[in-house]
Amino acid sequence: MIPELGHFALALACAFAFAQAIVGLWGAHRRDMRLMAATPGLAVGQLLALAGASLALVLASAWDDFSVVNVAENSAVAKPLLYKITGTWGNHEGSILLWGLILGICGGLVSVFGRTLPSALRARVLGVLGGTSAGFLLFCLTTSNPFWRSWPAPADGRGMNPLLQDPGLAFHPPVLYMGYVGFAVPFAFAVAALLEGRIDAAWGRWVRPWALVSWCFLTCGIAMGSWWAYYELGWGGYWFWDPVENASLMPWLTGTALVHSAIVVEKRESLKIWTVLLAIGTFSLSLSGTFLVRSGILNSVHAFANDPARGIFILGLLGLVIGGSLLLFALRAPLLRSGGVFAPVSREGGLVLNNIFLCSICAVVIVGTMYPPFADLLLGQKISVGAPFFNATVLPLAIPVFLAMAVGPLLPWKRGRLMPLVTHAWWAALAAVAVGGVCAGNMAVLPALAFGAATWLILGSFSEVIERTLLFRAPVANSVRRARGLPVAVLGAAIAHAGMGVTIAGIAGMSLSSNKIVEAKPGDQFKLGGYEFTLLSLSSEPGPNFASRVASIEVTQGGTPVAIMRPSKRNFASQNQTTSDVAIRTNFLRDLYVVLGDERDGQAVLRLHVNPLAPWIWLGALVMAAGGALSLADRRLRVGAPSRLRAGAVPA
């Protein structure tokens, strides 16, 4: 019964989405107030129906209804309840439903918070969101329906890929999808602006917070994925330039560019056409990212669905959304007139430079990811493009960004001079050179340079804040008063930029990691990176739906105990699959990382790693997201948005 209700709710949501698209776009075109006023209600209806469908799937999974094919294939009685719930989005069908739900939430939020928008703009935005949603829900219903039944129902399900049974991964898809799907809102605003042929500062003020929220989620989502790869896969790496990882990096790069260029639209009414293109591009990359991976064109370790019928539907949908919006852009973009003029050396000029570099990095990632299938298809050449290529091409493009982003905010709008950068940030540059110099004496050139760059970025990012509060130059009370008056966005930007520095420091530290692979029997001791690792014992322990072998390892530093680490190997009987459970002990300055391997003749293979500064990689991403979130709290974003007067207050 419940799966049927869910199925019905899904179909209902699809109908709502179609209605929302038609009513919104047609109503705005005809300037029909009644149609335009009906659109938000349809969006909320779609959201409620999708929430019902999602709830039905969660219930079917939690109550072990194995007559539902999706549940039977991805769940099992013995699976812990948490993973029965989170597992609903850990498979292809469920993740498409989650995608639709989040898109529905975006529509609902625009309906609720968009009361102050001009009604035609709101109707168009909701119409575009509805149209996109309709495509996905149709895809979900026809090719990836999570509610299909099979009879007779199997006694138990096939269970979930044990690699995915992990709390980190359970919440990775929703966070990542909030990022991906959130960019649908700036996209809808961009398409609506093209339809209207008008963009003003108020438009920028609406788009920026949406882009910023999505960017924060995407940043966290990518960091969670990378962290999961680090602790779950047990390879000791954190970024593999895998097509799936690249797919999430592409919209992040253009999304970062969008967040910055939207500032220019809002403040200076300039770069409008470019911002619209970025909004379209970012969502297009989000779509391609999630769905090209699933069409089977780019195979990878992560891809869990490879079905040609789905592939063709996806390609058609991508062609319609991306091709349609780009066509509209080509036709209508000349209507958008830009205002503010600026000199090359100015805040705007700096942001244009930032956009050029970020988009170039994105182009490299796209071309690198897509080249092998196209070279195979068009030239009949089999080539591989992997980590060495991306490291060699992305790094030279990223370094100028790292150097410039610390001091870019010091440039004034319209026209500026480079001299103030020197007078305001010399101390950060001096510190960076000092740190880089000290490091160069102790390590290879590249990590030393990276530590220098990280210092520059972390300190330099706060130079604007220090400059504006006259810290260390004015009396403390004066500085505090100035700090209170400082726009929160300035502080948010400084924190986000410094977060990038923290991540770079983490990556540099990780490149200095030392590791060792040993065969050990209880009692053996090994030295690595200033620590002694002693294998105490090997034992067997039962788990909820697996059996595990656990190694106990004592770690000491010069005889002083540091930690007891217990890496394990889990054997999941229902899938006949083994995973390794890495033991990690961190003090935020270094990670101790131990993996248990095969056992033979009473000896176990152990991989020991000491990874300096490893947690900073993900900590930096969190700091970046926190900076973005803080920037959202800026008074100007709330107060600056237009608010509608009550009808009675307007003189006739």
Partner 1 sequence: MKAFLVALCLALLSAPAWAISDPREMLPDPAQEARAEQVGSQLRCLVCQNESIEDSGAQLAHDLRAVVRQRVAAGQTDSQILAWMVARYGSFVRLSPPLTLTTLLLWATPVLALLVGSGAALVGRRSFAPAPAPLNAAEQARLDELSRPA
Smallest distance from partner 1 to CB 224, Å = 20
Contact pick of 31, 337, 481, 638 for partner 1 (by CB under 8 A): 337
Q: What are the φ and ψ backbone dihedral angles of 336, each rounded to 5 degrees?
A: -80, 110
Q: Which of 462, 514, 530, 511 is nearest to 616 (CA)?
A: 511
The span from the CA of 120 to the CA of 255, in Å, is 26
Q: Which is nearer to partner 1, 58 or 608 (CB)?
A: 608
User: Which residue stretches of 406-475 are H helix?
Assistant: 419-440, 445-461, 463-469
* 3-state percent breakdown (helix, strand, coil) of the chain, nearest 5: 65, 10, 25
Binding flag, residue 384, partner 1 (CB under 8 A): yes
Instruction: Decide if 452 contacts 432 (C-beta within 8 A).
Output: yes
User: Which residue stretches of 319-380 are H helix?
Assistant: 324-332, 347-374
Binding flag, residue 354, partner 1 (CB under 8 A): no
The span from the CA of 644 to the CA of 652, in Å, is 16
Smallest distance from partner 1 to CB 518, Å = 6
Q: Which is nearer to partner 1, 375 or 488 (CB)?
A: 375
Contact pick of 363, 431, 443, 486 for partner 1 (by CB under 8 A): 363
Q: Which residues contact 625 (CB under 8 A, 6 or more apart)?
A: 216, 217, 219, 220, 223, 496, 499
Contact pick of 577, 584, 585, 622 for partner 1 (by CB under 8 A): 577
The span from the CA of 285 to the CA of 218, in Å, is 13
Contact pick of 36, 103, 178, 273 for partner 1 (by CB under 8 A): 273
Binding flag, residue 569, partner 1 (CB under 8 A): yes
Binding flag, residue 446, partner 1 (CB under 8 A): no
Binding flag, residue 525, partner 1 (CB under 8 A): no
Instruction: Decide if 187 contacts 328 (C-beta within 8 A).
Output: no
The span from the CA of 331 to the CA of 195, in Å, is 10
Contact range with partner 1 by CB under 8 A, out of 99-107, 212-220, 280-288, 514-522: 514-522
Contact range with partner 1 by CB under 8 A, out of 323-331, 368-376, 409-417, 484-492: 368-376
Contact range with partner 1 by CB under 8 A, out of 321-329, 430-438, 529-537, 578-586: 578-586
The span from the CA of 197 to the CA of 202, in Å, is 14
Binding flag, residue 379, partner 1 (CB under 8 A): yes
Binding flag, residue 375, partner 1 (CB under 8 A): yes
Contact pick of 323, 386, 412, 530 for partner 1 (by CB under 8 A): 386
Q: Under rule CB under 8 A, how many of the chain's residues touch partner 1? A: 59
Binding mask 229-258 for partner 1 (x = CB under 8 A): ----xxx-x--xxxx---------------
Contact pick of 178, 352, 429, 495 for partner 1 (by CB under 8 A): 352
Task: Give, rounded to a whole angstrom, the gap between the first and last alpha carbons of the chain.
Answer: 56
The span from the CA of 477 to the CA of 481, in Å, is 6
Q: Which is nearer to partner 1, 136 or 342 (CB)?
A: 342
Binding flag, residue 567, partner 1 (CB under 8 A): no
- Restricted to residues 535-564, the positions that interact with partner 1 (CB under 8 A) are none
The span from the CA of 500 to the CA of 621, in Å, is 7
- Restricted to residues 293-332, the positions that interact with partner 1 (CB under 8 A) are 299-301
Three-state SS letters, 208-267: HHHHHHHHHHHHHHHHHHHHHHHHHCCCCCCCCCCHHHHHHHHHHHHHHHHHHHHHHHHH
Contact pick of 119, 393, 511, 556 for partner 1 (by CB under 8 A): 393
Q: 3-state class of 534 per DSSP?
A: strand
Binding flag, residue 76, partner 1 (CB under 8 A): no
Q: Which is nearer to partner 1, 237 or 316 (CB)?
A: 237
Contact pick of 32, 73, 467, 519 for partner 1 (by CB under 8 A): 519
Instruction: Assign residue 192 a region (left: φ > 0; alpha: ψ between -120 and 50; beta: otherwise).
Output: alpha
Q: Which of 117, 261, 111 is nearest to 202 (CA)?
A: 117
Binding flag, residue 385, partner 1 (CB under 8 A): yes
Q: Which of 246, 118, 249, 251 is nearest to 187 (CA)?
A: 251
The span from the CA of 349 to the CA of 344, in Å, is 5
Binding flag, residue 356, partner 1 (CB under 8 A): yes
Binding mask 461-500 for partner 1 (x = CB under 8 A): ----------------------------------------
Binding flag, residue 367, partner 1 (CB under 8 A): yes
Smallest distance from partner 1 to CB 382, Å = 4
Smallest distance from partner 1 to CB 392, Å = 7
Binding flag, residue 438, partner 1 (CB under 8 A): no
Contact pick of 136, 291, 357, 402 for partner 1 (by CB under 8 A): 357
Smallest distance from partner 1 to CB 204, Å = 16
Binding mask 595-634 for partner 1 (x = CB under 8 A): x-xx------x-x---------------------------
The span from the CA of 11 to the CA of 15, in Å, is 6
Q: Which is nearer to partner 1, 478 or 525 (CB)?
A: 525
Contact range with partner 1 by CB under 8 A, out of 88-96, 146-154, 309-317, 575-583: 575-583
Q: Which is nearer to partner 1, 233 or 490 (CB)?
A: 233
**384-402 per-residue burial string, b: 16 or more CB within 10 A, e: under 16:** ebeeeebeebbeebbeebb
The span from the CA of 637 to the CA of 208, in Å, is 9
Contact pick of 180, 274, 402, 546 for partner 1 (by CB under 8 A): 274
Q: Which is nearer to partner 1, 396 or 530 (CB)?
A: 396
User: What's the DSSP call for residue 11?
Assistant: H
Contact pick of 338, 479, 511, 534 for partner 1 (by CB under 8 A): 338
Q: How far is CA 636 from CA 78, 210, 279, 651, in A?
A: 52, 15, 22, 28
Angle at 617 between CA 614 and CA 619, to 5 degrees: 105
Name the pairing type of β-strands 568-572 and 547-557. Answer: antiparallel
Q: Which residues contact 447 (CB under 8 A, 6 or more apart)?
A: 439, 508, 509, 511, 512
Q: Distance from CA of residue 492 to its chain's centroid?
A: 18
Angle at 282 between CA 277 and CA 283, to 5 degrees: 105
Contact range with partner 1 by CB under 8 A, out of 18-26, 476-484, 554-562, 592-600: 592-600
Binding flag, residue 263, partner 1 (CB under 8 A): no
Where on the chain is the footprint of partner 1 (CB under 8 A)?
233-235, 237, 240-243, 270, 273-274, 299-301, 337-338, 341-342, 352, 355-357, 359-360, 363-364, 367-368, 371, 375, 379, 381-389, 392-393, 396-397, 517-519, 569, 575-580, 595, 597-598, 605, 607
